[in-house]
Amino acid sequence: MLSLNMKTLPRKFYSRNTIDVAISLLGCHFISRVDGRKLGGMIVETEVYRGQDDPACHAFGGRTPRNAIMYGDPGFLYVYFTYGNHFMLNVVTERHGFPAAVLLRALEPIYDIEEMARRRNTPDILNISSGPGKLARALGITTKHYGVDLTKPQIYIEGPSAQHHHILASPRIGVGDRGAEKLWRFFIADNPHVSKGSRLNREQCYELSAARKMSFTAENFK
């Protein structure tokens, strides 16, 4: 299952269209060594937040102190705090000056599962990192790690995935009507670690080929 030849993803990996990055990240390994332990797992669910025209993106409406990292170089960590409890992990994408990022929504635990389970206070492996707030907690990542360089050895992603995954797309979760027409959530079909927070019926999920076609319309890239 683990592929050989996994290497830390270079900055160039992140310096592409955010949709390509979000899809390419599925199957890669996200690793955190923030407390001297190697924690992490396989990325199984991602979402795209792209540009000042995307009403669900934190950069909608322009630059602020919080979203500043999204305007910088790709390959850095954007962490923010929400709902009074949860940290969200994003990786900055695209070129300097264009605000965009991929939200990591779920991991399949691989490294030091016992420690991650402890941090999450659950014995259930399916509950360790099957949601964006859950995985940040399991990995020990907080806003202290805002701006960490993902090409350095503290927090990084290894790839590429050698597996052939069946990937599906759907609308993003938790954004309400803001950009609801965009199919910018991507996940590995049938992986039990994909988040269950918002159960989507089959009609709301699309094969990757169809979703990509819709995502790359002029409407989304004007």
Partner DNA sequence: CTCTGGATTAGCT
Partner DNA sequence: GCTAATCCAGAGC
Residues near DNA, by CB under 7 A:
47, 49, 56-58, 61-62, 64-67, 78, 80-86, 88, 90, 101, 103, 120, 122, 127, 131-134, 172-176, 195, 197, 199
- With CA atoms as reference, report the closest residue to 13 among 158, 141, 146, 153: 158
Q: Where are the beta strands (DSSP E) in 25-85?
A: 29-32, 39-50, 77-82
Q: How far is the CB of 45 from DNA (least distance, A)?
A: 10
Distance CA 59, CA 57 (A): 5
How far out from the chain centre does Cα 222 lie? 24
Q: How far is the CB of 117 from DNA (least distance, A)?
A: 11
Q: How far is the CB of 72 from DNA (least distance, A)?
A: 14
Q: How far is the CB of 9 from DNA (least distance, A)?
A: 19
How far out from the chain centre does Cα 88 lie? 9
User: Closer CB to DNA, residue 1 or residue 16?
Assistant: 16
The contacts of residue 6 (CB under 8 Å, 6+ apart) are 29, 158, 159, 160
Q: Which residue's entry shows tokens 């890239």?
A: 221
Which pair of tokens denotes residue 192?
């039990």
Q: How far is the CB of 144 from DNA (least distance, A)?
A: 12
Pairing of strands 155-159, 7-8: antiparallel
